[in-house]
Structure 1
Amino acid sequence: MNVALVFLAAIGAIIIWWLAGQRLTSKPWLEASPVQAVAGGQEPPVVAVKIGLYVFLGVVGALFSLSVSAYFMRMEASDWGGMPVPRLLWVNTAVLVLSSAVLQWARREARLGHMETLQPMLAAAFLLAALFLVGQIQAWRELMSTGYVLADNPANSFFYMLTGLHGLHVLGGLVVLGRTTARSFVADARKDRLRLSVDLSAIYSHFMLAVWLMLFALFAGWANDFVDLCRQLLNQGIPG
C-alpha cells in the first residue's frame, strides 16, 4: 500500500505541475466572464472551455491513479506473474511522442495564423496517433500469440485493461482531432474557433502522452524501482 501511495503522489505532483503551467500564460482579466458571454449571446469564453477540459482531465487522471493503485496492491499476491514488455511498445511510445510534438508545433502555427503549415501538421499528428493505436493492437496480438492471454494471469489482465483504457481515451481525442483537421481545410472556418480546437487537442494529447509514459514505466518495472528509491529515502529521513 505504501508503494502505491508513493507512486500516486508522484503522478499527482506531475499532473498538478502540468496544469499549473498551462495557466501561467493565461490572462483571465482579459477574458469575458461566462455571465457576460451568455448575456451578450456569445460563445463560452476560452478560459471556461479550458477549465472544463482540465476538470475532465482531472477525472481521467483520478481513474488511472486508482487503476495503478490496484495494480500495485495486486502485485503483492502470490499468483502474480511477470509479463514481458513487447519491443513494439518502444516504437509505439516514440510514435506517440512524435504525434504530441507535431501537435504542439501545429498549436504554435495556429496561434501565428499560418494556415498553410497548420493543415499538414494536423494531418500528420492525426496519422501518428492513429498509428499508435494500430501499434497497440499489434502488440496485443504478439502477446496473445506467445501465450500471454487475458485470463491467464492477473498481470496480463491489468496490462490489457490499462492499455485498452488508455487506447480508448486516445481514440476519443483522435475523433476530436479529426474534426479539427477537417475544419482546417474549410475556407470560411472561423480562425478563433480553429485555434481553440487545436489548443485543446494539444493539451489533451500532451496529457495522454504523460499518462502513457507513466504506464510504460509501470510495465517496464521502472516505476517499482522509483518507488523503492523514494521509500528508502523516506525511511532514511525518519529517525529510528
Structure 2
Amino acid sequence: MNVILVFLAAVAAIIIWWLSGQRLTSKPWLETGSVQLPAHDGADRPAVPAVKIGLFVFLGVVGALFSLAVSAYFMRMASADWWGMPVPRLLWVNTAALVLSSAALQWAKREAQHGRMEALRPALVTGLALAIFFLVGQIQAWRELTAAGYVLADNPANSFFYMLTGLHGLHILGGLAVLTHTTVKAFSTDVAPERLRLSVDLSTIYSHFMLAVWLLLFALFAGWANDFVDLCRTLLK
C-alpha cells in the first residue's frame, strides 16, 4: 500500500506541476482580449491542445496500473515459494538503448520547435530504431531466461518478471505505432509544421514516461528497489 501511495503521489505531483505550467487553473471568464493564454514573459501563446491533456490523463492511468503491479510484486515476494531470478546482462544493453531513444526524441523535439526538418528526420529515425532495438532485446532476454530454465510457471518471481516486462513492452509497442506515423509524416512534403511539432512533442513525453517506468522495473528486478524500501522503512521508524 505504501508503494501505491508513493507512486500515485509522484504521478499526481508531475501532472499538477505540468498543468500549473500551462496555466490551466486560470479563470478565462475574468480575462478579456486575446483568447490565447499569456506566457509568464508577457508573450502570448496558444492554449494547451486537448490531445496533450488526454495523454497526461492516460499516463496517469498507466502509472496507477504499474503501481498496483509493483505493489503486488512486493507483497508476493514475502511468500515462502518465491525464488529470485537472475537479471540478464542483456537488460543493461536494452536499458541503454531506451535511454538513448528517449534522448534522441528530446533532440527531435528541440529540432521540431525550431523548424529544422533536416535535423529532425534523423533524430526521429534514431529514436525509432533504438526503441525497436529495445523491444527485440527484451524478446531475446526472454529467450535466454527460458533456455536457462526460468519458465513462466516455475515460480511467482518468474511470472511477475514476464508479466511486468510484457506489459511494459506492449505500451512501448503502442508508442512505436505513433512514433512510426510521426516519422513518416516528417518525410512528407505537405505536412503541417504545427501538427508535426505536436506529434513529436507527444511522442517525446510518452517516451520519457515509459523510460521512467522501465527504470523503476529494472531497479525492482535488480533488487535496488527492495534496498530503497527497506531504507525508507528504517528512516520512518
* Aligned counterpart in structure 1 of residue 99 of structure 2, from 69, 94, 97: 97
Alpha-carbon displacement from aligned partner over 1:69-121 (angstroms, at most 9, x marks no partner): 11111111110111100011011001000000110110011011111100110
Following the alignment from structure 1 to structure 2, what is the Cα–Cα distance between the partners of residues 127 and 10? 33
Contact 1:6–1:231 (CA under 8 A) maintained in structure 2: no
Residue 26 (structure 1) aligns with: 22
Which residue identity is paired with 1:14? Answer: A
Structure 2 gaps, min length 5: 29-33, 38-46
Following the alignment from structure 1 to structure 2, what is the Cα–Cα distance between the partners of residues 13 and 92? 28
Contact 2:22–2:48 (CA under 8 A) maintained in structure 1: no
Contact 2:102–2:208 (CA under 8 A) maintained in structure 1: yes
Aligned length, in residue pairs: 221
Alpha-carbon displacement from aligned partner over 1:109-160 (angstroms, at most 9, x marks no partner): 1011111100110011000000000000000001001000000010000000
Contact 2:12–2:60 (CA under 8 A) maintained in structure 1: no
Following the alignment from structure 1 to structure 2, what is the Cα–Cα distance between the partners of residues 48 and 155? 40
> Do structure 1's residue 8 and structure 2's residue 4 form an aligned pair?
yes
Counterparts of residues 86-165 of structure 1 (less than 5 Å): 86-165=88-167
Following the alignment from structure 1 to structure 2, what is the Cα–Cα distance between the partners of residues 84 and 26? 44
Q: Give the helix-richer structure, 1 or 2.
A: 1
Which residue identity is paired with 1:154? Answer: P
Following the alignment from structure 2 to structure 1, what is the Cα–Cα distance between the partners of residues 136 and 147? 17
Alpha-carbon displacement from aligned partner over 1:13-52 (angstroms, at most 9, x marks no partner): 432343344345435577669xxxxxxxxxxx64311110
TM-score (norm 1): 0.87
The alignment yields a C-alpha RMSD, in angstroms, of 1.9
1:171 offset after TM fit, Å? 0.3
Identity of aligned residues (%): 67
Following the alignment from structure 1 to structure 2, what is the Cα–Cα distance between the partners of residues 24 and 127? 34
Which residue identity is paired with 2:198? Answer: L
Structure 1 gaps, min length 5: 34-44, 236-240
Flag the structure with more relative contact order, 1 or 2, with Cα contacts below 8 A and sequence separation at least 6.
1
Where 1:80 maps in the other structure, the secondary structure is coil
Which residue identity is paired with 2:117? Answer: M
Residue 40 (structure 2) aligns with: none
Q: Which runs of 4+ in 1 moved over 4 A?
A: 27-33
Residue 41 (structure 2) aligns with: none
Residue 175 (structure 2) aligns with: 173
Residue 43 (structure 2) aligns with: none
Which residue identity is paired with 2:8? Answer: G
Which residue identity is paired with 1:8? Answer: I
Counterparts of residues 45-60 of structure 1 (less than 5 Å): 46-60=48-62
